[in-house]
Amino acid sequence: MSSGIIPVVATIIALGVLSQVVADKLQVPSVLFLILAGIVVGPEVLGVVTLSSFGGIDTLAGIVGLSVAVIVFEGAFHLKLEKLREAPGAWLRLVTVGAAIALFGTAIVVRVLLGTGWDVAFLIGSLLVATGPTVITPILSVVPVRDRVGAALETEGVVNDVTAAILAIVVFRVVENPQRSVDVVLQDFVTRLGTGVLVGLVVAAVVWYILRRIDLSKGNAPQNARLVVLAGALVAYGAADTLYSEAGIAAVATAGVLLGNADLPYEKEIEAFKGDVTLVVLSFVFIGLAALLSFQTLLDLGVAGLAVAVLVALVIRPLAVFASTARSRYTSAERVFMSAVGPRGIIPASVATLFAVELQGYGMPQAANVLVGTVFLTILLTVVFEGGFARHIAQALNVIPMRVIIVGGGTVGRALAERLEDRGENVVLVEDDPEAVERARNEGYTVHSGDGSDTDELRAAGAENAKILTAATGDDDVNLLVAQLADSKFDIDTIIARANNPDNIDAFEDLGVSTVSSSLATAWGIDNIIERPALSNWMTEIGRSGDVQEVEVTSEELVGLTIADLDDDLPGGVIIALAGRDGDNQVPNPEFTIQHGDHLTFLGRKEAVRDALNWCHPDDG
């Protein structure tokens, strides 16, 4: 006996896996292909997946709810306290000031352009506050931005998913009963949020107890640990949602954050398992919700609906981001990137659909159509354009930095980090001294707290994706061990070590590690002040007002040109100081002809040097 749901499930899973494979190949977030696949197999095109395939709206709502629970739980599980400390002020303002700007800004735009009542306008505004891990996590997986940028966006996604879902429920109750007082509305919000947080606390405690107190060493321990955590997430959602609708989102977010920071056994296996499960449920969520999409509803909104979506993405989102990141260490390019990457996700789509069904039952079809149409149109536009072009936007803004690991958060490590960060690099300090960690974090640096001579700690700090690693502690034995680990365990292009004792230089160089002697560097610095004071002062100031950078020529447009030709087209405020070929560097004469692979050293103003680098090596990023 066969069931009609089997081909639908098989189709959804196959499309989900295919979307992920294609996304990895093209380095584009998978949500783009998932939503496009959903549209193609949905009722508006092929009609393979329809609402009737799931047995009606109630069944689909249950599937979507449990799927969202898994997705939010995974996103929250990855929010480590260390990561949150990378952008404490930014993420807090994004989920408060930024969320308020999104709520009121969207409501005003909807009210003015679509002519709805304030209740429906605020209902749409509350839903479009959410970005969410369903769309942010796939983007950040292919766009390796600076840690503080990723931390702020991920935290905003998880927290705003919770607040948007609960806020939308509260506002919807006002739509149902416009006579409700402000006190009742606030009490409803706090009750739902509090219920979710309380249930999440209880479930997290129970799961932690089970994993810690019950012997998992017998049998397949890693599998048991994975299943216990997954069951905990689903129980948290189901229990809280039974008490108050949408409180389940707060419950799984709370449980996820607590368990993710609880040092659980088999944590790596749990994370890998949740990632695979999330891929499957993402497929069901995006492709399943496409069964509810009606092109006619979108077309009925006309130009006004399109204008709302555009204003939400291009005006309200940037206002929220720039207001939330004022007086922070974020560069202008990073703030623009965060403004351009705020796609709306599953929470708005699923909750809007359920609300629309209820509004239809109340005899409010126009409000239902405006709600669903505006939310889905905004989701489509932001996912397709912001999600699909996120990597291109990041490359255009030059916010995909080179990852540099500096082991040692002392004076030398922090001074080096300051210079590299000022050039736009993604620097992670690795330090195990609590006072040094706190000092570096207070100064705004990204710090991984751990022993840099431990392979697992280096991996956790991001050494597998690093291009440069510097061992800069005051202990040569530690620096030598770090250099050995970096050379043998990780594929790092450049390894640099600090030698505090000149007698140890040979040991470092035997490893093929570039070495800087602290005592010799100090002697050279003093000698420069004595013999070359002007040059010494200039080299001291160059990191603040100017820059010196070396780059490999990869642009075919420059091959065959002479230095004189390049000088005519260089940005103002920069010169070519050195030209290198096959390891031989020299001050170039005007007739020196550029070949592919030559190395040019630029000297001048920061902005001019960076423009010159992009010109010679446009694929750098």
Do 484 and 516 belong together in one domain?
Answer: yes
State how many domains the chain has. 3
Phi, psi angle pair for 318, to nearest 5°: -60, -40
Alpha-carbon gap, residue 65 to 238, rounded angstroms: 9
Please, which residues have CB within 8 angstroms of residue 506's CB and are 6 or more apart in sequence? none
Is 87 within a domain?
Answer: yes
Q: Is 176 helix (H, G, I), strand (E, B) or coil?
A: helix
Q: Which residues contact 97 (CB under 8 A, 6 or more apart)?
A: 320, 323, 324
Residue 338 shares a structural domain with residue 286: yes
Q: Cβ contacts of residue 308 below 8 Å, gap of 6+? A: 106, 109, 110, 113, 114, 301, 374, 377, 378
Based on the domain organization, do 380 and 509 belong to the same domain?
Answer: no
Do both 365 and 479 map to the same domain? Answer: no
Helix axes 133-142, 5-26, angle to 10 degrees: 40
Is there a single domain that holds both residue 168 and residue 219?
A: yes
Within 290-326, where are the H helices?
A: 295-311, 317-324
391 and 406 in a single domain? The answer is no
Angle CA 360–366–368, to nearest 5: 50
Q: State the CATH number of the domain containing residue 607.
A: 3.30.70.1450
| Amino acid, res. 620 | D
Q: What is the pLDDT of residue 615?
A: 73
Among candidate residues 365, 395, 425, the one where a domain is terminated: 395
pLDDT confidence of 551, banded at 50, 70, 90?
Answer: confident
pLDDT, tens only, 202-212: 999 998 888 87
- Give the chain's count of helices (H) and strands (E): 29, 10
Over its C-alpha atoms, the chain yields an Rg (Å, rounded) of 27
Mean pLDDT of 372-388: 85
Tell me the pLDDT tens digit for each residue of 452-497: 888 888 888 888 778 889 888 888 888 888 888 888 888 788 888 8
Q: Which domain holds residue 112?
A: 3-41+53-261+268-395
Segments in 290-410 forming alpha helices (H): 295-311, 317-324, 332-340, 346-361, 365-381, 388, 390-397
Q: What is the CATH number of the domain that holds 454?
A: 3.40.50.720
Residues 330 and 423 in one domain: no
Taking the C-alpha atoms of residue 409 and residue 387, their distance in angstroms, rounded to an integer, is 36
The pLDDT tens digits for 575-611 are 887 888 877 778 888 888 888 888 888 877 777 777 7
> At 621, is the pLDDT very low, low, confident or very high (cuts 50, 70, 90)?
very low
Residue 361 belongs to some domain of the structure: yes
Q: Which of 461, 487, 520 is the last residue of a domain?
A: 520
Calpha distance 16→19 (Å, rounded): 5
pLDDT at 312: 93
Retrieve residue 605's tokens: 């103003």
DSSP characters over 507-531: HHHHTT-EEEEHHHHHHHHHHHHHH
Q: What is the CATH number of the domain that holds 138?
A: 1.20.1530.20
What proportion of the chain, given as a percentage, has pLDDT over 70? Answer: 89
Q: What is the mean pLDDT of the chain?
A: 80
Q: 458 by DSSP, 3-state: which?
A: helix
DSSP of 552-585: E---TTTTT-BHHHHHHHSPTTEEEEEEEETTEE
User: Per the structure block, which two tokens stand in for 88?
Assistant: 């404490």
**pLDDT of residue 523 exceeding 90:** no
Enter the tokens of residue 57: 């709206």
Q: Are residues 497 and 600 in the same domain?
A: no
Supply the pTM of this predicted model. Answer: 0.64
Mean pLDDT across 566-582: 78
Co-location of 431 and 386 in the same domain: no
